[in-house]
Amino acid sequence: MEGWIVARVLHVIGVVLWIGGVAMVTAVLLPAVRRFKTPEERLVFFEEIERRFAAQSRVTTLIVGASGFYLVHQLDLWWRLARPEFWWMHAMIVIWVIFTLMLFVLEPLFLHRWFIERAQREPEATFGLVARLHWMLLGVSLVTVAGAIAGSHGYLLFAR
């Protein structure tokens, strides 16, 4: 099997696990956690689940980034980044950068501490903010996935 095929398989599986996990956290976990009786219960449970999901997300975003770069390089797809009809490639890169910064830079440096402190002071507002941000990231991610699927099968928006 050629290397690019393995890379594509790893890329798609990584995206499924990563964005599927974001969907589960957004649509299932956050609403369930907000129904806990006390803010303390909410925070402890959310932290436990989010910690485990963050570990999985770190691995899958690394796989997605490495396989994506490999595919662009191996298949010589750099030219697509100069064409608007391949907007979904730009979107994939932007979303990957946002999640990578969140997981590897912002969360360890200050975001985790900020979340804990704010959730202890204002639990409802904090979990509401987290839910809104998750829905926004999930929505943009799903539009990107849809665009990538359509685009990789020949449907190109803005085609000349």
The per-residue pLDDT for range 107-152, each reduced to its tens digit, is 999 999 999 999 999 988 998 999 999 999 999 999 999 999 999 8
Closest CA to 65 of 96, 95, 90, 105: 96
Query: What does the pLDDT average to over 152-156?
Result: 82
| pLDDT at residue number 43 | 86
* Per-residue pLDDT at 46 exceeds 90: no
Q: Which two tokens mark 97?
A: 């950068």
pLDDT: is 60 or 49 the higher one? Answer: 60
pLDDT tens digit sequence for 66-96: 999 999 999 999 999 999 999 999 999 999 9
Taking 70 as the threshold, does the pLDDT of residue 44 lie above it? yes
Task: Judge whether residue 97 has pLDDT over 90.
Answer: yes
Per-residue pLDDT, averaged over 49-72, amounts to: 94
Question: Which residue in the block uniquely carries the two structure tokens 């890379």?
Answer: 7
**For residue 160, what pLDDT is reported?**
62
Question: Using an 8 Å Cβ cutoff, are 104 and 58 in contact?
Answer: yes
pTM of the predicted structure, to 2 decimals: 0.89
